[in-house]
Structure 1
Amino acid sequence: EGWNRLCKRVREACETFGCFDVVYKKISTKIREDAFELLKELVEVPVERKQKNTSPLPYHGWVGPCEQVSVLYEGFGVGDASNYDSVKSFAQLMWPNGHPRFT
């Protein structure tokens, strides 16, 4: 598919749905499904706890609902997300009593 056609499809998806999904075939469907299930749990974390995920950098850490974008918008930044200890620290912040997938 040509670049211009791809750009048009991405724009249409953003205008229609507010997002688009890029599928990388080397990541299994099972891993993607598991990740989305965990994301649902992350969204359910109380706001007071999410607010503890801070960063001095703009749009890093937790970014709460934004009326200019959508009241449903949330963003989570995990510093050095490829580092196990950073991810573990983030998980402990979100689930201080532990989480079975982050032990």
Structure 2
Amino acid sequence: MVTTTLGELEEAVGELTVAPVSADVVDLFALRERVEVTVLETLCGFFATGGHDVDGFRSAVGWLKAHVALTDGDAKALAARARRLAVWPTLAKLLFDGS
């Protein structure tokens, strides 16, 4: 199954069953990491295009705290990571393509 939309992903996750065995738990963490990288890649583009400004927030941190309920520390760390990747495109490419 190829997931192409957030709705399809949400449905697939809702139907997901993972056996409580070592290999499956390790695979689940690897999948979680891939989703986190996809979130980070999306945030880099969102912040680079001023998506948070359009929404009325002057900072990425404020947007993250308001819209995804991150703590101040978590929002600052995620926004800083996105900023660093924006200025290091080679590193960003390696992270985003799984290298």
Do Structure 1 and Structure 2 share a fold, with TM-score over 0.5?
Answer: no
If asked which structure has higher relative contact order (CA below 8 Å, sep 6+), I would say 2
**Higher Cα radius of gyration:** 1
TM-score, normalisation: structure 2? 0.28
TM-score, normalisation: structure 1? 0.27
